[in-house]
Amino acid sequence: MSTLLTKNICPCSAHHNLPYYWRSMNAIHQRWAKNGGKPSVRLPSRHQRVYATAQNADELHEYAFEMAASSIRYGKGVTREVGYDLRELNATKVAVFADPNIAKQPDNSPVNVVLQALHDAGLAYEVFSDIMIEPTDSSLRAAIEFAQKGNFNAFVAVGGGSTMDTAKAANLYSSYPPEDFFDYVNPPLGKGLPPPGPLKPLIAIPTTAGTGSETTGVAIFDWEEKGFKTGIAHRLLKPTLGIVDPNNTRTCPPNVIAASGFDVLCHSLESYTALPFSLRTPRPETPKLRPAYQGSNPISDFWSLKALEMTSKYIVRAYSDPEDEEARSQMILAATYAGIGFGNAGVHLCHGMSYPIAGGAHKLDFLPEGYPAGRSMVPHGMSVILNAPAVFEWTAEACPHRHLHAAQVMGADTTNVADADAGKVLVQKILELMYALNIPNGLKAIGYTEADIPNLVQGTLPQHRVTKLSPRPVDEEALTQLFTRTMSIY
C-alpha cells in the first residue's frame, strides 16, 4: 500500500494530491518530535486546514462516506405520471407547492399537468404558490403554516430550487414541529438537529436546469435579520422521487437558463475539488450524524465530472436557443447528475461566498431580466459564478491535478501545463462561458462596492457547512482577498 501511495497512482480522492498531503503530515510529525511527542500542536499556518483537518491525535478523521439520492425518473412527458406515483405512496391529500410564475401559465404548463394528473387519480389537493424566489425565513414560515393546517400526507413541488426547498422545509416542520425554528438550521447559526424520523412522501418536479434539489436533502433560505443565506441539510429531507422532464424547461427565459446552468457548473467543480472525505474531521459519533456534505469521494467524482462535461458542452446552446431540445434535455439531466454529486460531496467557497451576496441583494438596485419585477435580487446561480474565477485560481494550489483535470473536461488543452498554472487554465475556461452568457463584470456591476467587503466576509464566515470543505483553509484575510478580486472580473 505504501508503494501505491508513494507512486501517487491510488485513484482515491483522499490521495489525489499527495505532495500537499505529505507536506502537511511531515509538518505534523516534525512538530510532534520537537514537542516531546505531544499531539496538540498546530501546523504552520501555510499547512493549516483551519476548520477541516485534525489538530491533535485525538481528533479522528472520517473513514467512510455514504451515497444518498432520490429515486429519479427522466423522460419527456413523465410529469403526467405523478398521480400514479402518489397513489402508490398511499397519498390521500396532497400539498402542491407551485412556482408562482408557472402557476399562471396556460393549460399545458407543468403545474396544470400535475393538477390534471392528481384529478385523474382521484386525489384531493391544495395548491400553495406564495413562494418567494430565493426563499426567506419569513416565506418558509408561511409555507410551514400552510402545511401544518392542511393535514397533508404527501407533498409535490413543481418549480425551481426555491419551490423544492420550500416544500422540503414545509414537510420537515409540519411533520416534526420543533421548539424553535432554528433547531434544524445548520450550525453555528442553528442547532443542526436531525429530523426525529422519516418525513412524508415528497415528489419534486424541477422546471429549471440548475439546483439539482430534486436529488438532495438540502433546503436554502435567506435569514432576513442577518442578511445572508443559511439552510437545513439532512438526508431525510431528500425527495422520495424526482421527476425530471425536459418539457418543463421550455419556457425558461435565457437569463434563468444562464444562472441555473452556472449553478450546475459550480456544483460540479466545487464538489470535485472539495476536501477529500477522508480528511474531514471530526469523525461522527454515529452514522446518523454523518453530514450530507462529506467531501469529495470516488462516487461523487463520477457524477460531478459527467455533469461538468455536459454543462460545458450544452450551456451556451441552451442559452442561445431555447428551442434547442437536445441542449435543454441535456442541461436538466446535467443538473440532476450534479445534484447526486454535490449532494453527497458538498460545495465550498463559491457557494459559501454567494450567500451574503444574494442575501444582501435587497439593499441593491439590481433587477435581472427574466426574474420577478420590482424586487432587487441576485439570482442564486449568478451569485455563485461571480466568485468562481477568484476561488478556483486560489484553491488550485491545494489540488492542482484536480483543477487541471476539470479544465481538461471543459475542453482545455492541458498538455505540458505546470501545476502552478492549473488555476489560470481552469479559470480561463470558466471566463469564456461567463462572457458568452453575458454574466455581469463582477460585484461592482450588480451594485456592491469595496465598502461592502467586510459585511460580505462576515456573512461567509459562519457558513461552516461549506467553508469547511474548501481544499485550502480559509479565514477572514483570505475571504477579504477573494471578495476584492471578485469586484471586477473581466
- Please give the average per-residue pLDDT across 245-267, as a whole number: 96
Side chain identity at residue 3, one-letter code: T
- Please give the average per-residue pLDDT across 333-346, as a whole number: 97
- Please give the average per-residue pLDDT across 423-449, as a whole number: 98
- Give the β-pairing of 154-159 and 202-206: parallel
pLDDT band per the 50, 70, 90 thresholds, residue 16: very low
Flag whether pLDDT at 462 surpasses 90: yes
pLDDT band per the 50, 70, 90 thresholds, residue 167: very high
Instruction: Quote the CA–CA distance of 337 and 343 in Å, as a whole number.
Output: 10
Between residues 240 and 20, the one the model is more confident about = 240
**pLDDT given at position 59:** 63
Instruction: Quote the CA–CA distance of 441 and 205 in Å, as a whole number.
Output: 33
- The C-alpha cell at 153 is 400526507
Average pLDDT, the chain: 89
**pLDDT given at position 471:** 98
pLDDT band per the 50, 70, 90 thresholds, residue 228: confident
What single-letter DSSP state applies at residue 368?
-
Flag whether pLDDT at 311 surpasses 50: yes
Instruction: Quote the CA–CA distance of 206 and 98 in Å, as a whole number.
Output: 10
295 three-state secondary structure: coil
**pLDDT given at position 322:** 85
Flag whether pLDDT at 362 surpasses 80: yes
Whether residue 380 contacts residue 263, with contact meaning beta carbons closer than 8 Å, is answered with: yes
pLDDT band per the 50, 70, 90 thresholds, residue 429: very high
Among candidates 265, 261, 384, which has minimal Cα distance to 317?
A: 261
Q: Exposed, middle or buried, 11 (CB in 10 Å: 0-12/13-18/19+)? A: exposed
pLDDT band per the 50, 70, 90 thresholds, residue 1: very low
Flag whether pLDDT at 55 surpasses 90: no
459 three-state secondary structure: helix
**pLDDT given at position 416:** 95
Flag whether pLDDT at 26 surpasses 80: no
**pLDDT given at position 435:** 97
Flag whether pLDDT at 36 surpasses 70: no
pLDDT band per the 50, 70, 90 thresholds, residue 373: confident
**pLDDT given at position 425:** 98
Point out the least confidently predicted range of 8-22, 74-88, 279-293: 8-22
Point out the least confidently predicted range of 98-112, 232-246, 268-282, 438-452: 98-112
Flag whether pLDDT at 226 surpasses 80: yes
Flag whether pLDDT at 211 surpasses 60: yes
Predicted confidence (pLDDT) per residue in 117-139, tens digit = 999 999 999 999 999 999 999 99
